Every structure is written in C-alpha cells, then in structure tokens.
C-alpha cells in the first residue's frame, strides 16, 4: 500500500516557501503522491435557486492545480502529482491536453490527470460552459486528450469537438494516466469503460461498496489488470480509523490511500475535523500520519 496526501489548498496560505515545505516534507517522508483539488471560482451559496449545495463557497481559496503542480515538480524529484479532480468539462479540452502534456514533460512523467464533472453549476455558468452536458462532454474530452498526446495529426469530429488535422506539440514521452473521480454510478461506469484509475473521495463504507461495484464493472469489461485505485481518508479520524481503512482497502486491492486534513473537505464526507489553524500543523501532520501507518 502506498500513501499519498491531499494538498491543503484552502488552508495552506499563499507563502511559496510554505507550499515548498509541504511538498518537500511529503517527499522526504516517503509519500508517493500529492493530490491537488480544483475550483477556478468560489461562489456565494446564499439565495440560490436551485440550491448550491457543495462544501465550498466564496471564502475558500483554491490554488490553481496545474500551475501549482508545475511549481511543485520543479522543487521535488521523486514524488508524483495528481489532480483530484480537475473539473474538465468547464475547461477547454485542447488546452487541458496541452497543459497536461507540459506537466508530464517537466516532471519526468510524475503526473496523472484526475478528472471529474464537478457540482458547481454557478462556476460552469461563469466560465461559459454547459453544466447539463458535462457527463457526455467528459467522455469525449478523454478521447481527445489521448489522441492529442499520441497522434501526429488529429482529425476528430464529435458531439462537442471538431479538430481539423491539428496537433499539440510537444507531446509527452508516454501516455498520461487519466483517472476518474466521483461517487455516482456514471463516474463508475466512465472509469470502468475508459479510465485508467479511480479516485474515491472518501474511504467510508459507502466508498468501499462503490469500489466493489467498480471492480465488478472492470471484470465485466476485462479492464481490471493495471487499473489504479486511490481513496482519500481523514486525518482527523485518528490512528484506529487509519489502520481500519488500510486493512479494508488493501483487501480490495487498492494501490494507495491519500490522507486529507482540510476542514471543509472533511466535513463534506463526515470525517472528524482536524481543527488545524496553521500551515505548519498540516506539515507536521504528514509525519504523524506516516509514522503511524508505516512505523
């Protein structure tokens, strides 16, 4: 079992030295990867119809994940990086492919692209992208990504994209793994059919049932070999819960568990609030967790 960590984007602050210290501490402690969340915009939840129900609002800062990972790749040498997840359908497809290829190049193939559909319809509207068609859009985006990363010239016609004999150079030296994130059945279906792995947003019993469903789907599609699984778990839940999760997800055949200590994210899935009030507490927690799960 490998262990990753969630970059505490809403609580780390803006000091680049602190951001560096977090990434380098994770690498030195033996974490396999850092997961970076994505929101382009914050939005007030007050007086919305329909209701905007997500865990974040206009008070939560988000470091842009692709730019962040480019910085982190330049100050580390072995640790890997993942978006967890990039809300791809609210971004331009060819531009994502270009940026992901560049990250793979400058990091020495230490980057995987985690994608999902998201929940914030206000953010989609502000970015002038359709919210209702985000699922089919993501399916088609993944096909376009892979062609742009592999082909000399791409000629693609789909429901949402028309690429007329184009390419995006430089291409990565190997294909970039595309992982899916989410909790609903469409995300599991998408992963089983076209994903390289899946990021579960929690390590709960509900997520375990979802993983069992996913494994059954993978068996049906013949795609289980080499398929990656990661699940996020709460630092605030404490050592006993950590060990329970490690045992359960090891039995499922998961590749890794990633520890998360952000208050808003923990509350979203019912994890105990770590109650951190400083960036240094997040850095110190990396050592606490790793000493417990890998003594």
Measure the CA–CA gap between 250 and 268, rounded to whole angstroms.
24
User: C-alpha angle 280/40/233, rounded to 5°?
Assistant: 45
Measure the CA–CA gap between 145 and 156, rounded to whole angstroms.
11
User: Which pLDDT does position 25 carry in this prediction?
Assistant: 98
Evaluate if pTM is beyond 0.85.
yes
Output the CA–CA distances (angstroms, integers) from residue 130 to 21, 28, 180, 282, in the order listed: 38, 42, 20, 36
Residue 111: beta bridge partners? 81
- Contact yes or no for 81/110 (Cβ under 8 A): yes
Structural domains in the chain plus CATH codes? 2-293 (3.20.20.30)
Measure the CA–CA gap between 149 and 167, rounded to whole angstroms.
8
- Print pLDDT tens along the chain (295 aa): 999 999 999 999 999 999 999 999 999 999 999 999 999 999 999 999 999 988 999 999 999 999 999 999 999 999 999 999 999 999 999 999 999 999 999 999 999 999 999 999 999 999 999 999 999 999 999 999 999 999 999 999 999 999 999 999 999 999 999 999 998 899 999 999 999 999 999 999 999 999 999 999 999 999 999 999 999 999 999 999 999 999 999 999 999 999 999 998 888 888 999 999 999 999 999 999 999 999 7
Please state at what angle helix 134-150 crosses helix 93-107, rounded to 10 degrees: 50
User: C-alpha angle 143/146/152, rounded to 5°?
Assistant: 120
Measure the CA–CA gap between 26 and 42, rounded to whole angstroms.
28
User: Which pLDDT does position 267 carry in this prediction?
Assistant: 84
Considering only CA atoms, which of 54, 13, 1, 31 is closest in space to residue 286? 31
Q: Which 8-state DSSP code applies to residue 177? A: P
């Amino acid at each position: 079992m490998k262990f990753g960590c969630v970059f505490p984007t809403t609580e780390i602050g803006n000091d680049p030295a602190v951001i560096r210290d977090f990434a380098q501490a994770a690498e030195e402690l033996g974490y396999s990867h850092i997961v970076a969340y994505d929101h382009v915009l914050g939005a007030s939840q007050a007086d919305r119809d329909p209701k905007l129900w997500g865990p974040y609002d206009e008070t939560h800062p988000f470091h842009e994940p692709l730019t962040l990972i480019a910085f982190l790749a330049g100050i580390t040498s072995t640790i890997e990086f993942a978006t967890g997840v990039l809300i791809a359908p609210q971004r331009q497809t060819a531009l994502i492919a270009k940026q992901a290829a560049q990250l793979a190049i400058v990091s020495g193939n230490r980057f995987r692209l985690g994608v999902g559909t998201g929940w914030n319809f206000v953010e989609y509207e502000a970015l002038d992208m359709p919210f209702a068609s985000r699922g089919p859009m993501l399916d088609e985006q993944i096909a376009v990504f892979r062609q742009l990363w592999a082909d000399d010239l791409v000629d693609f016609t789909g429901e949402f994209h028309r690429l007329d004999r184009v390419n995006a150079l430089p291409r990565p030296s190997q294909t970039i793994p595309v992982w899916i994130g989410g909790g609903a059945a469409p995300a599991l279906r998408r992963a089983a059919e076209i994903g390289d792995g899946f990021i579960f947003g929690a390590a709960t019993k509900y997520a375990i049932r979802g993983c069992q469903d996913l494994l059954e789907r993978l068996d049906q599609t013949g795609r289980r070999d080499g398929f990656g699984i990661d699940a996020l778990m709460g630092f605030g839940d404490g050592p006993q819960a950590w060990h329970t999760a490690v045992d359960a997800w090891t039995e499922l055949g998961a590749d890794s568990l990633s520890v998360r200590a952000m208050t808003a994210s923990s509350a979203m899935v019912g994890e105990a609030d770590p109650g951190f009030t400083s960036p240094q507490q997040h850095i110190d927690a990396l050592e606490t967790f790793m000493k417990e799960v890998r003594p």
